[in-house]
Amino acid sequence: MIKKRIALTVNGQRHEVEVPTTRTLIDCIRYDLGLTGSVEGCGVGVCGACTMLLNGKMISSCIYLAVMADGAEINTIEGLAKDGQLDPVQQAFIDYGGFQCGICTSGQIMAARALIDENPRPTVDQVKDWMMGNLCRCTGYYKILESILKAAEAEAAA
């Protein structure tokens, strides 16, 4: 098995790991770095459960190789809360019932975070369009939509 040494900065912390070239980014984050908040759902880039940010852009980490991310900055759900304070998106998902079983939640929250970073006051249609690739099989979409809009509102007011 061919391996390669790579460096990743994950949630601000630099890691050096040796990975098989076949390692996907999601597997590297979960099994090599032990950050299991991101999960693999479909494994083909469709469902959004493995959404994280790579150099600030949201990515399907299940169809990206860890070796391709060498040198990149990555943000996962574990890095959102700061000093024991939840991110406004996380807080809104709790306050407005943005999740049910929780499988899709870290991906939903990271996608919502990426949206609000880029567009601080998205319209309902903009949220729907952006979040189209994050599936919730409990089908709690109205609550997710509400949570994201409320999070944007709270951040704008802060």
Partner 1 sequence: MNSFEFFAPTSVDEALDLIVSKGEDAKIVAGGTGLVNMMKQRLVNPEALISLGAVRGLDGLEISDGKVRIGALCNHQALVKSAEVGQMLPLLAETYSKVATVRIRNFATVGGGLVHGDPNQDPQVSLLALNADVSLRSKSGTRTLPLKDFMVDYYETAIRPDELLIDALVPVLPNNAGYAYLKFLPRTADDYATVSAAAVTVLEDGVLKDVRVAFGSAAPTARRCQETERMLTGQRPTPEALRAAAEKAKDLADPVSDGRGSAAYKKEMVGVFVRRALEKALERAGGAVNGR
Task: Answer yes or no: are the C-beta atoms of 4 and 19 closer than 8 Å.
Answer: yes
Closest CB to partner 1 among 59 and 151? 59
Report d(CA 110, CA 134) in Å as an integer: 10
Candidate segments 15-23, 80-88, 90-98, 140-148, binder of partner 1 by CB under 8 A? 15-23
Q: Is 20 in the site for partner 1 (CB under 8 A)?
A: yes
Of 54, 33, 30, whose CA–CA distance to 43 is shortest? Answer: 30
Q: How far is the CB of 111 from partner 1 (least distance, A)?
A: 7
Contacts of 94 (CB under 8 A, 6+ apart): 86
Q: How far is the CB of 38 from partner 1 (least distance, A)?
A: 13
Closest CB to partner 1 among 114 and 149? 114
In angstroms, the Cα distances linking 134 to 2, 56, 129 are 33, 18, 10
76-135 residues near partner 1, rule: CB under 8 A: 111, 114, 130, 132-133
If binding means CB under 8 A, how many residues of this protein chain bind partner 1? 28
